[in-house]
């Protein structure tokens, strides 16, 4: 260990003496989403600007989560920047594991970050991760099929309208499903969707004393409504469909409606990948007249683990990747429809972006989502499609597995809810909440 200490000491001395001039190599862990892969392709621009080089570790979402969580909790230091979400940021920030991003340069214009995003990526008023892109959820629907069904989509529809429209639009002979929704197990997949949906039905995960609420009528209503609608108007095998499966179904023209992440709008309107690109309309996620809509709020953001020796370079990278300059770079290369959405206010004031068909509805969806007041009845947690407590991911994965088993017909909805209730209470007890 002596040698290691010596090396560390030597390294920090050199770092001090040459922190401005030296060129670092940053190791960045990120998810294999389209926006991040595009960023990877543009890294040369960052290197040209600052002299720092970047090594990418691009992983599938589940592997990434597992990887970065192990590293941050053990202070492993394998990464200089990690791509994390709105769920992890406040929890890690609270533990002091992230470098506060409160001293970014003036040119970066941190005040331009959408307040909803900045709020979700802060703990105690301090920003701990900078949003690369942000999203809510909304309805994407086929204008041609809607017309054919003799209906017109209101800007802010109710669940009963959606269920009716879904059944009307379904055309099994032509392989058209009225509605495609996530049923896949996993807290970030079907779990996120059903939780956001349940909010609009007046349900919540926990009461003020952290008791699980799956034995309430609201949850039973949510699940039954979802299951019945999907059985009548959803694709076969919806119990295993997540974001990606539904995207592909929608692009192939097999869905009348799809309620999912706002970032999907640029994929379904891109004529290169989508067969229905010119007939997609957008509307706010449905509600039930109870004052809460069913849209969520999420951001993929870049954060720096505390203890990295390349803090300065890492900050430079974050400033580069989440700046207006980066948005313009992407716009110049790939067009305005492909810039990372949902992170900055100025993007939605930009004249070039105004013509993008989904820009307005994306912003409105983001603005109507409030993580601090996500449920009809008061709840003790922050977050819309999740509860920002460390135990949530594990519990919600188990719960969503029970739900998916019910969607697949392996158990009844009542059984799934009873199991969810028991396992949630059990896990909360284990964690010392109850």
Partner 1 sequence: MARTVTPQKKILNTALSWTLAIIIFFPIFWILVLSFKTEGDAIRTPIEVLTSTWTLESYSIVQERSDYLKHFTNSIIIALGSTVLGIIIGVPAAWSMAFVPSKRTRGILMWMLSTKMLPAVGVLYPIYLIFIELGILDSRTGLVVILMLMNLPIIIWMLYTYFREIPAEILEAARMDGASLTSEILYVLTPMAVPGIASTLLLNIILAWNEAFWTLNLTAAKAAPLTAFIASYSSPEGLFFAKLSAASVMAITPILIMGWFSQKQLVRGLTFGAVK
Partner 2 sequence: MSTKHSRSLARIMIAPAVFALLVWMLIPLSMTVYFSFKKYLPLRGGDLGWVGFENYSRFLSSSSFWPAVGTTIFIVGSVLVITVILGILIALLLDQPIWGQGIVRIMIIAPFFIMPTVSGLIWKNMFMDPTNGFLAHLWRAVGAEPIQWLSHASVASLVTIISWQWLPFATLILLTAIQSLDSEQIEAAEMDGAKPIGRFFFIILPHLARAITVVILIQTIFLLSIFAEIFVTTAGAFGTKTLTYLIFQRVLESQNVGLGSAGGVYAIILANIVAIFLMRIVGKNLDN
State which residue, 26 or 121, has the beta carbon closest to partner 2.
121
CB of 117 to partner 2, least distance (A): 23
Cβ(259)–Cβ(266) under 8 Å? no
CA distances from 103 to 106, 108, 187, 201 (A): 9, 10, 33, 41
The total of other beta-carbon atoms located within 10 Å of residue 228's CB is 14
Q: Is residue 95 near partner 2 by the rule CB under 8 A?
A: yes
Q: Looking at 338-417, which runs of residues are DSSP E strands? A: none
b/e burial code for range 160-183 (CB count within 10 A of at least 16 → b): eebbbbbbbbbeeeeebbbbbbbb
One residue of 12, 14, 18, 66 binding partner 1 per CB under 8 A: 66
CB of 17 to partner 2, least distance (A): 35
Cα dihedral 67, 69, 70, 71, rounded to 10, equals 80
Q: Is residue 57 near partner 1 by the rule CB under 8 A?
A: yes
Report the alpha-carbon distance of residue 75 to residue 232 in Å, rounded. 49
Q: Which residues inside 237-276 make contact with partner 1, applying CB under 8 A?
A: 243-244, 247-248, 251, 267, 273
Cβ(190)–Cβ(182) under 8 Å? yes
Tokens 């290369």 locate to 333
CB of 401 to partner 2, least distance (A): 4
One residue of 22, 45, 47, 67 binding partner 1 per CB under 8 A: 67
Report the alpha-carbon distance of residue 59 to residue 33 in Å, rounded. 9
State which residue, 29 or 139, has the beta carbon closest to partner 1.
29
Q: Is residue 347 near partner 2 by the rule CB under 8 A?
A: no
Please choose, out of 56-64, 204-212, 230-238, 310-318, the segment that lies near partner 1 by the rule CB under 8 A: 56-64
Chain residues in the site for partner 1 (CB under 8 A): 4, 27, 29, 32-34, 37, 40-41, 55-61, 63, 66-67, 70-71, 74-79, 243-244, 247-248, 251, 267, 273
Residues in the site for partner 2, rule: CB under 8 A? 62, 66, 69-70, 73-74, 91, 95, 185-186, 235-237, 239-240, 245, 248-249, 254, 390-391, 393-395, 397-398, 401, 404-405, 408-410, 419, 422-423, 426-427, 430-432
């Amino acid at each position: 260990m002596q040698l290691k200490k010596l090396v560390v000491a030597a390294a920090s001395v050199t770092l001090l003496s040459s922190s401005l001039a030296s060129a670092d190599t940053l190791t960045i862990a990120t998810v294999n989403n389209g926006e991040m892969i595009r960023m990877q392709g543009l890294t040369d621009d960052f290197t040209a600007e600052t002299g720092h080089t970047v090594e990418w570790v691009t992983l599938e979402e589940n592997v990434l989560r597992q990887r970065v969580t192990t590293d941050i909790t053990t202070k492993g230091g394998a990464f200089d920047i990690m791509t994390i979400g709105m769920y992890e940021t406040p929890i890690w920030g609270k533990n002091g594991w992230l470098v506060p991003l409160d001293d970014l340069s003036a040119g970066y214009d941190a005040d331009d970050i959408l307040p909803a995003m900045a709020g979700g990526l802060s703990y105690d008023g301090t920003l701990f991760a900078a949003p690369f892109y942000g999203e809510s959820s909304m309805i994407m629907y086929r204008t041609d099929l809607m017309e054919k069904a003799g209906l017109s989509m209101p800007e802010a529809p109710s669940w009963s309208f959606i269920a009716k429209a879904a059944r009307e639009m379904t055309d099994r002979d032509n392989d058209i499903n009225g509605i495609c929704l996530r049923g896949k197990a996993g807290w970030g997949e079907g779990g996120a969707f059903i939780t956001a949906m349940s909010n609009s039905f007046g349900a919540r995960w926990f009461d003020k004393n952290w008791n699980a609420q799956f034995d309430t009528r609201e949850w039973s209503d949510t699940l039954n409504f979802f299951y019945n609608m999907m059985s009548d108007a959803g694709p076969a095998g919806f119990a295993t469909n997540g974001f990606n499966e539904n995207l592909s179904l929608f692009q192939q023209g097999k869905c009348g409606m799809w309620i999912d992440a706002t970032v999907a709008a640029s994929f379904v309107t891109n004529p290169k990948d989508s067969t229905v690109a010119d007939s997609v309309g957008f509307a706010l996620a449905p509600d039930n007249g109870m004052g809460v809509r069913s849209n969520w709020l999420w951001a993929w953001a870049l954060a720096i683990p505390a203890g990295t020796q390349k803090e300065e370079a890492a900050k430079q990278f974050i400033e580069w990747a989440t700046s207006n300059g980066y948005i313009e770079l992407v716009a110049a290369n790939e067009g305005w429809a492909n810039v990372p959405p949902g992170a900055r206010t100025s993007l939605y004031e930009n004249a070039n972006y105004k013509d993008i068909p989904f820009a307005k509805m994306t912003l409105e969806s983001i603005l109507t989502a409030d993580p601090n007041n996500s449920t009809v009845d008061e709840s003790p947690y922050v977050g819309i499609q999740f509860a920002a407590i460390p135990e949530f991911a594990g519990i919600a994965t188990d719960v969503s597995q029970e739900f998916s088993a019910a969607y697949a017909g392996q158990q009844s909805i009542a059984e799934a809810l009873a199991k969810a209730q028991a396992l949630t209470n059990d896990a909360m007890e284990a964690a010392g909440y109850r």
